[in-house]
Amino acid sequence: MSAALHAELDRIYAARDRNNMAPTIAALLPLYEQHSEEPRVIYEVGGAYDTAGEEATALGFYERAMTAGLEGDVRRRCYLQHSSQSWPS
């Protein structure tokens, strides 16, 4: 992943409002359209949907991110978030 894309994801993440994730999702979706195979982009979209309360949508993104090769600490976080959503209530 390019440094510019990494920085843009960090900027979007830092600007998010956990009580109103619509602007964050709107900012991430164009990046996802351009970089739909980039694991961290996929993960961040999933995380935004998760925070917005759209857990079922988030699960698909988390699974795709892991399949796409998400690595390191971000992969660990993805597993945790995925597990918390797929655990029976």
Query: Which pLDDT belongs to residue 6?
Result: 94
- Domain borders along the chain are 29-89
Query: Which pLDDT belongs to residue 15?
Result: 96
8 A C-beta contact, residue 27 and residue 12: yes
Query: Which pLDDT belongs to residue 88?
Result: 55
Query: Which pLDDT belongs to residue 81?
Result: 86
**Helix ranges restricted to H, the chain:** 3-15, 22-34, 39-51, 55-67, 72-86
- Blockwise average pLDDT, block size 10, the chain, 89 residues: 94 96 98 97 97 94 95 92 69
Count of other CB atoms within 10 angstroms of residue 35: 17
Query: Which pLDDT belongs to residue 31?
Result: 97
Query: Which pLDDT belongs to residue 84?
Result: 77
Burial of 37 (0-12, 13-18, 19+ CB in 10 A): exposed
